[in-house]
Structure 1
C-alpha cells in the first residue's frame, strides 16, 4: 500500500510539472535570426506565442507561406520577435500574425512595429491574433476590445452560417452570401471599432451560446480598418488544422494578403 501511495504521489508530481505545450512560458527575444535574400513584395509570417498556443499554427504558417510564394512574393516565417526592429521590418511590405498571442515585444520592438505601421504598411491578423492576451495598443490597432471568449466543452466547435455582408472585397468576393463553416467562434462584449468595415458576421440562429457569447446581428468575424495609412485586416477564423487546407478559407486569407499589401481593393 505504501509503495502504491508513493507511486501515485510521484505520478501526480510529474503531471504538475510537465509543461503544457498550449501554455508556453513567455519569453522576449533580443537576437534576430539571419535573413535570406528577400525580393519585394515580402511578407513576414509571425506566430510567436506568449499566451495560448494553437495546435494549428504549423499548418497555418505553412499554408500562408505557400499562398505568398504562389504570388511570386517572398515569405519569411519566424517566432523570433527580434525581427521587429527598423532595419529588418524595412524589408517587408506586410506582416501576418498567424495566431500569435500575448504581449510579444520589448518596448523597442513595439516602437519599431508601430512606426512601421504608421508608415502605411499592411497587417493581417488571424484567429488567436484577436484574443484578449494582446495589449491595449494592439487591440486598438486591430479594432477590437473586450474579448468575451468562445464556447467550450461539447459546444466548443459548432457548424453555423457565416453571413457575408460585403462580397466586393478581395477576401470575400468568392464566398456565397451564406457560408457554412465549423469553428471555435470568438465573441466580444462590444462590436469592432466604429471605423471598422465588417465583411462577415456569425448567424447565431440555432447555436448553443452562453449569453456572454451572444452578439446578435453584430457578431463580427471578419473586418478591416485603416490605422492611419496602414491597411489592417482581421479574421477570427482558423482554429482547426482543417481550415488550412480548405480552399474557400485559403482564398479568404489570400485575398486579405493581397488587399493589405495594396495589390488589390481599395481603402486607406
Structure 2
C-alpha cells in the first residue's frame, strides 16, 4: 500500500467512526477495449499500478464528447498502468469509496452534481492528499460551492464558437506540457473564466487571444493550470469540448500528464509564478557566453550540454538578490550544475573557485548530489528524493539568493538552505551559469528565468503554522515585553500576523520574537520583546522545516509535542520532530 493510500485509508476510517456505513457502489468500468492510439513520449519509467475515478454526471448542458473522453481515459489507463472506474453515480463520493483512488477526474461535469454530504466527503479526500483533474466543463460545475471553485481554480463565464487558436505553452517542464513545443495549435471551444487563476495557480498554458475571435479575458487568458490545494493536488485543462480532442495524441498526452501529477506519480513546481524575466528562450543566446571547452546545442529553446568541462554563463548582468528558476532534465546518470555568485571570467574554474554550484547528479556523494551546494552543504536528502523526477523527466529548480543566504527548491519543495560565510566568496553579487561537465554527461535546460527581489518586494507577512496546523500566536494579543508566544487555532488576528524581515527577525504587533535573557538552555521561554538587533531575536529557516536560532544553535519548539491551544513555544535542542516544523508566509 502506498503512503498516499495509507493516508486516505486512515482518513476514510476516521470519517466513518461512529457513523453508519455510506453507500459505496460505483459503476465499474469495463475492461479497456483494444486499440492502438498514436503515442507521444511516455513516462520515463513504468508507473506502479494505481486507480482513477472518472466522474461525468451532468445536471446542466451535456457534452456529446463525454463518451469519447471516457474511452480515451480507459485507453490511456490500459497503456500506462492505471485502472479507470467511470461513473455518473454521485453515491461514489463517500470516504470509503473515494479512498481507493489516487485521482478523481471531473469529465465535463455541469451543474450541481454532489449533495452536501458528498461534498464533505470529497473535501476530506482532497485534504487527505487526493488528486483532482478537471476537464473542460468541470469549470461549469458547482457554482454555489466556494471550496470547489478554489479547487478548480476558475469557473466558466462564456465562450465563442468552436475555432482554431494558438495555445502558448508557458511551462514545458510539467508532465502535462513537457511534450509540447512553445506553441500548440488546437481547435476547441475556448472558455472565458469569471476570474483569472494566475495569482492562485501555476499556469501551464494560455490562449493567444489575437489568434481567434471572441476571447474576453483581456489578453491574459490561462487555459491549463495546476495547484496544490488544501493538502491535495488540482489540475485543470480547458480543452476537451470536441470529440476530436480525445483522438488527438498531443491532447491525450496532456491529460495523462495531468493525471500522473494529480496522482503523485510525478513532481512539478505548481506554485503561482509571476514577475519573472526570460534569460534564455525563443530569442536565443543573447547575453550568454561559453567559457572553456565544450558547448550547448539549442533545439526549440532547449539547451543540451556537449563535451566540456566548461561553463555557459550570462555575462550581460550580475545579480545580487533574486529568484532564478530553470527546468532541467538528465538523459541518464549524468552530471551538471548551476553556478551562482561568481565574477566575470572566461575561465570556467573561476566559477568553481569563487562561486557556488547547485549540483545535478543524484548518484554522487551527499555534499555533491542533486540539490547540494557542491562541496559545502548536502541537500535534505529525504525531501530531495521525494521531490525528484527520474532521468528522462523534467525537474524545476528555484535558486533563491538573498544576501549571503542561498535556498534551493526542487519542484516547489525546499531542499537546501545555505548561508555563505567564506570571507573569500560572496553571494551578494555575481553571475549565473550552466555547467557542461564532459563527454557523455547529457543534461538539458529550458525556460531559464529570473526575478530580481530587491527592497521593493518588501517583507513577507502572514501566519506561521506549526504542529496540528495551529498558528504561532502572541498570548491574548498583548504587546508588552515578555508576553508568551504560544500555539492557537488560526483566526487571522493581529496576534497571528507575523512579518518575516530580511534581518532574520520575526515580528508581530510591532515587536520581535525573542529568547528570554538571550538564553540557550532547553526550555528557555520564547516571548515578544522590543526589537534590539541581538542574536536572541534571529531565526533562520532550515531546509528541514525548523526555525533555528544561530546564537544558541537551538530551535523553536512547541512544548510537550502538543498542538493544544495555549501550548507554549520555547527553545529546545534541534531534532526535526513535528513540534519543530514551521511553515512561514
TM-score per shorter chain, which class?
0.7 to 0.9
Q: TM-score scaled to structure 1, two decimals?
A: 0.80
1:7 matched to which residue of 2?
A: none
For the aligned residue pairs, the C-alpha RMSD in angstroms reads 1.9
Q: Distance in 2 between matches of 1:42 and 1:190?
A: 32
More helix by share: 1
Q: How many angstroms does 1:214 deviate by?
A: 1.7
Counterpart selection for 2:25 from 32, 37, 41: 32
2:173 matched to which residue of 1?
A: 168
Q: Distance in 1 between matches of 2:162 and 2:154?
A: 22
Contact 1:85 1:112 in 2 (8 A): yes
Asked whether 1:108 is paired with 2:117, we answer yes
Q: Structure 2 unaligned runs (5+)?
A: 1-22, 30-47, 271-585
Q: How many angstroms does 1:107 deviate by?
A: 1.2
Count of residues paired in the alignment: 229
2:234 matched to which residue of 1?
A: 232
Q: Structure 1 unaligned runs (5+)?
A: 1-29
Alignment of 1:1-268 (within 5 A): 32-33=25-26, 40-131=49-140, 134-135=143-144, 136-145=146-155, 147-151=156-160, 156-192=161-197, 194-209=199-214, 213-267=215-269
Q: Distance in 2 between matches of 1:34 and 1:170?
A: 29
Deviations for 1:159-207, whole angstroms, at most 9, x for unmatched residues? Answer: 1100001101000001111111111100024311522000100001142
Q: Distance in 2 between matches of 1:55 and 1:108?
A: 29
Q: How many angstroms does 1:140 deviate by?
A: 1.5
The 1:193/1:104 distance shift into structure 2, 3 A limit, reads: farther
Contact 2:28 2:86 in 1 (8 A): no
Q: Distance in 2 between matches of 1:113 and 1:227?
A: 13
Q: Larger Rg: 1 or 2?
A: 2
Contact 2:169 2:206 in 1 (8 A): yes
The 1:40/1:248 distance shift into structure 2, 3 A limit, reads: closer
Contact 2:165 2:185 in 1 (8 A): yes
Q: Distance in 2 between matches of 1:216 and 1:157?
A: 19
The 1:182/1:85 distance shift into structure 2, 3 A limit, reads: same
Q: How many angstroms does 1:217 deviate by?
A: 3.3
Contact 2:107 2:134 in 1 (8 A): yes
The 1:208/1:267 distance shift into structure 2, 3 A limit, reads: closer
Q: How many angstroms does 1:134 deviate by?
A: 3.7
Contact 1:126 1:234 in 2 (8 A): yes
Please say which of residues 250-259 and 61-70 is displaced more in the overlay. Answer: 61-70
Residue aligned with 2:147, SS:
helix
Q: Distance in 2 between matches of 1:115 and 1:267?
A: 24
The 1:166/1:217 distance shift into structure 2, 3 A limit, reads: farther
Q: Distance in 1 between matches of 2:262 and 2:220?
A: 24
More strand by share: 2
User: Which runs of 4 or more aligned residues in structure 1 lie more than 4 Å from their structure 2 counterparts after TM superposition?
Assistant: none
